[in-house]
Structure 1
């Protein structure tokens, strides 16, 4: 009877786009404490999947990642998965037992990108969080890491470097607008600082330099930043925006960089104000650069709302927005 009631609630409350979710996702009353406990009792963990309607990266995740049988089987073996709409109004009982909504819960967790996957431990703490789309081979590794409870013994970045292999150029790409090493990010500049975390074997980095940075709009926006590149595998010393000296690889781990390329933005005073930690095509890349360089983040803390307004303004001028081109 409980399962029947739950099914009816989901049918009535979830928007039409949610019917595309895998059938094996958990039907839930959205009581987070109860869901964590039920997963733990079954020897699994809870995964929260934040999505939104019309999100091309969400569609890509469902099609190319969860649509892959090996990934689906591994996910089901290690996790109960609950889908939550970034703008949804279904009632959620949060980890403190407080009644809230999907969108308020997402805001409280500071979800800025979709898809976002939050993999929780047996007490409801975060074992691993993936902010944005990652390709299938990396999701395999993330499932092994969080599903194997390895966060207790190994940093995720170290795990990825030891276990993920991908076809890539095997080199770092130089650009004239990047700061020279050794990096000293402690000096003040009127411009915000953009730090791009990369590594040599990185297909996403290759694509970024080949397709993202050369786009005229992206290239123009980059001029608004003091930009630096950090190799997450390098022992090259640097000085952080806060004036601390340490190797590049150590700083990447302190910042819990979980994907390359990642972008971390700092204001003129050296305070982190925004970051991008997932796969992006040029429109969302330029939106991220515009969000920080324009100072929009100071007035609009929700990046997705900024993107919606930016895209709407362009469409009103007759521009065609190609999200994945």
Structure 2
């Protein structure tokens, strides 16, 4: 009865609690940044142990869809990927999708039975990007995690991987390499000024004591082509890149390198230790060799540049939440009369 009463009250008045303010929306009015979720998403009371068990009983797995209002990549996932019939049917057949607002205050009972909120639960999983998709197996263990947006062909591969329980057989990046369907340049984009081979990534190897940017890439990678052919050609981005020592790592190389921590490893050993599953990934290390941030998502120019600025300016030291930094950065640019296009 309490839950039913709550639903009735929600029909008449919706109250969204933001971190610094409360915004009340009466029936018929919609948050300008709100993205409507498909009606086939699971209607959950957010007891995740119960959700996992019920999904398993029906031969399905749970997908936790972490989102936020005003997120263009969330909209892209909902409007593009989940508007394609094959992807919708494949998702519905194999999964139950639960939406979790990373700033939300709805009560959540997590997989350990602890009562928390959407916001605190997101923080506990270190959700830094939206959308983030966490695929859970029948025991509530993570089968795959996707940080950021995947285009349809790569997203379908992720669905196939988890639906087929293939995490028990091979790492996702190995599987993805075998099903890469998109035509690409087929070459690594090693540029003038990048650290030379063999790679020595120790801090003392940096003459100018710069932070280190490690680009994890592969030859068959359309997103890598876009990163080098378009995004890194932008004058503002190139200026920010001057603040870094830059190393390009072929994740499939058998070469040996020295890690920022001073350990000699083969590339494959190091990438496995780091948990790299998506290319391109950008890993940022401070001048002492400590990893301070990574971007392992499909990012356009604005977010790629923001990630670089986040580290090069030292903003990560005072603002631990990257999304908050992005919002502040966009607001400052708009105040200066600069048009911000999040999808450019």
**TM-score grouping bracket, smaller chain normalisation:** over 0.9
Cα gap change, 1:140 to 1:7, in 2 (>3 Å): farther
**Who is 2:21 aligned against?**
none
Local SS of the residue matching 1:50: strand
Aligned CA distance change for structure 1 residues 10 and 244 (closer, same or farther; 3 Å): farther
2:297 to 259, 278, 284: 278
Provide the C-alpha distance between the structure 2 equivalents of 1:182 and 1:79, rounded to a whole number of angstroms: 44
Alignment partners' CA distance in 2, 1:152 and 1:3: 39
**TM-score between the two structures when normalised by the length of structure 1:** 0.94
**Is 1:195 aligned to residue 214 of structure 2?**
yes
Report what 1:70 is aligned to: 86
- Give the conservation status (yes or no) of the 8 Å contact 1:13–1:90: no
Partner residue of 2:169?
Answer: 153
Post-superposition offset of 1:205: 0.6
What does the per-residue CA deviation read over 1:256-295, in whole Å, with 9 as the maximum and x for residues that have no partner?
2121111111122222111111111111111100111111
Output the CA distance in 1 between the equivalents of 2:67 and 2:110. 18
Mapped to 2, the partners of 1:8 and 1:19 lie a distance apart of 22
How many angstroms apart in 1 are the aligned matches of 2:9 and 2:183? 45
In the alignment, which of 83, 86, 89 is matched to residue 102 of structure 2? 86
Give 1:98's aligned residue: 114
1:62 Cα offset (Å): 1.0
C-alpha separation in 2, matches of 1:300 and 1:235 = 37
**Any gaps of 5 or more consecutive residues in structure 1?**
none
Cα distance per residue 1:64-91 (max 9 Å; x no partner): 2111111111111221100111211212
TM-score, normalised with respect to structure 2: 0.89
Unaligned runs of 5+ in 2: 17-29
2:152 is aligned to 136
The verdict on how the C-alpha distance between 1:18 and 1:226 changes in structure 2, with shifts beyond 3 A counting, is same
Q: Distance in 2 between matches of 1:18 and 1:45?
A: 26
Match of 1:226 among 230, 236, 245: 245
Cα RMSD, aligned residues only: 2.1
Alignment counterpart, residue 107 of structure 1, candidates 106, 112, 123 = 123
Among candidates 284, 292, 312, match of residue 293 of structure 1: 312
In structure 1, distance between residues paired with 2:318 and 2:257? 32
2:108–2:115: 8 Å Cα contact kept in structure 1? yes
Go from structure 1 to structure 2 and tell me whether the alpha carbon gap of 1:6 and 1:178 turns closer, same or farther (over 3 Å shift): farther
Q: Is the 8 A contact 1:10 1:27 kept in 2?
A: no
Q: Distance in 2 between matches of 1:2 and 1:231?
A: 56
Match of 2:186 among 164, 170, 186: 170
Partner of 1:252: 271
User: What is the CA deviation profile of residues 178-211 of structure 1, one whole-angstrom value per residue up to 9, with x for unaligned ones?
Assistant: 1111111124242111111111111101111111
Which residue pairs with 1:116 in the alignment?
Answer: 132
Moved more, 235-244 or 1-10: 1-10
Residues 215 and 249, structure 2, Cα contact 8 Å, conserved in 1: yes
CA deviation profile, 1:114-138 (whole Å, cap 9, x unmatched): 1110111222221110000111111
Cα distance in 1, alignment partners of residues 110 and 69 from structure 2: 23
State the 1:18 CA deviation. 5.3
SS at match of 1:66: helix
Once the two structures are TM-superposed, the CA of residue 322 in structure 1 deviates from its matched residue by 1.2
Is 1:238 the counterpart of 2:254? The answer is no
Which residue number corresponds to residue 206 of structure 1? 225
Paired with 2:72 and 2:220, the residues of 1 have a C-alpha distance of 26
Match of 2:126, SS? coil
When residues 8 and 143 of structure 1 are mapped into structure 2, their CA distance, relative to the original with a 3 A threshold, is farther
Displacement of 1:19 after TM fit?
Answer: 6.0
- Post-superposition offset of 1:161: 0.8
Larger Rg: 2
Q: Distance in 1 between matches of 2:84 and 2:343?
A: 21
1:16-95 aligned at under 5 Å gives the runs 16=31, 20-95=36-111
- Specify the SS of the correspondent of 2:304: helix
Separation in 2, partners of 1:121, 1:83: 17
